[in-house]
């Protein structure tokens, strides 16, 4: 599948596009990357999703810093043994503000809407780690476009910050699903409860589950945090959500 370039107000975002390969239009999905960025494993996840009948766009959201891969990564990522890898992505991550992320999301959604490979129906969003927050923000910023959004092992979804993603709950019309990691310092129990409360009070249709024993990053098979069982569970939940909410 091809890499493409998408012009934005702040530069050019490189992105991976996955499609069933039949030339026909399919429901669009915006795939929000984790902090380690657009790399072979994320492309394989997008390919898996595309094989289920979706046109999947995976932007390099750190394009302001550089084209993917924005940092040099080993084939197997183990932050415990190489903490410098986490430090290395910090400068790239700081180039993406909430405001910039939402400007970009509008551009990505416009690109998907204009593509002959997507249908006329609503869009789905899925995000991983930091991407779960981007998925939540996208659902809140573009309720007229997003029918389904999911986040897995999300980070800082419901903090005390004045721009925390959960504060957009009142704008969301999509159905949401969250698969939280049980062992995740980036998304502690009090933040999960705060997110749940905000969504419930806003009347957002959602399901929020804690995957027992799962680590932050459990879907990422090229990392030491990977878990086969929670990853399989994530695919079941994600595909069920999209099958119900996305139509051609």
Catalytic residues: 129, 184, 216
Helix, strand, coil percent values for the chain (each to nearest 5) = 35, 25, 40
What count of Cα atoms within 13 Å lies in the side-chain half-sphere of residue 92? 23
DSSP codes of every residue in 106-121: HHHHHHHHH-TTB-SS
Q: Is-cis flag, bond preceding 69, omega within 30?
A: yes
Provide the greatest CA pair distance for the chain.
46
Q: 159: burial class by Cβ within 10 Å (0-12, 13-18, 19+)?
A: middle
Can you say how many angstroms the Cα of residue 133 is from the centroid of all Cα atoms in its chain? Answer: 7
Q: 142: burial class by Cβ within 10 Å (0-12, 13-18, 19+)?
A: buried
Contacts of 191 (CB under 8 A, 6+ apart): 156, 157, 158, 159
* Mode of pairing for the β-strands spanning 11-18 and 3-8: antiparallel
Radius of gyration of the chain (CA): 17
User: What is the C-alpha to C-alpha distance for residues 36 and 186, in angstroms, rounded to an integer?
Assistant: 15
């Amino acid at each position: 599948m091809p890499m493409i370039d998408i012009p934005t107000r702040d530069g050019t975002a490189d992105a991976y596009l996955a499609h069933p390969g039949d030339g026909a239009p399919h429901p669009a999905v915006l795939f929000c990357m984790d902090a380690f960025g657009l790399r072979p494993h994320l492309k394989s996840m997008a390919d898996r999703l595309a094989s289920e009948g979706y046109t999947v766009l995976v932007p390099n959201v750190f394009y302001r810093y550089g084209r993917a891969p924005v940092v040099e990564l080993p084939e197997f990522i183990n932050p415990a043994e190489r903490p410098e890898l986490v430090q290395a992505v910090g400068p790239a991550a700081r180039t993406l503000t909430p405001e910039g992320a939402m400007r970009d999301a509008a551009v990505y959604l416009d690109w998907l809407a204009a593509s002959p490979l997507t249908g006329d129906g609503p869009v789905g969003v899925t995000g991983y780690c930091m991407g779960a927050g981007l998925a939540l923000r996208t659902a809140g910023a573009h309720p007229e476009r997003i029918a389904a959004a999911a986040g897995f092992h999300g980070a800082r979804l419901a903090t005390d910050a004045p721009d925390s993603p959960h504060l957009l709950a009142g704008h969301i019309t999509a159905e949401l699903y969250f698969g939280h990691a049980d062992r995740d310092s980036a998304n502690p129990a009090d933040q999960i409860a705060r997110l749940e409360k905000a969504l419930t009070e806003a009347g957002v249709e959602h399901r929020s589950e804690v995957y027992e024993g799962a680590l932050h990053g459990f879907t990422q098979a090229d990392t030491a945090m990977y878990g086969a069982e929670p990853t399989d569970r994530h695919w079941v939940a994600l595909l069920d959500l999209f099958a119900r909410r996305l139509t051609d």
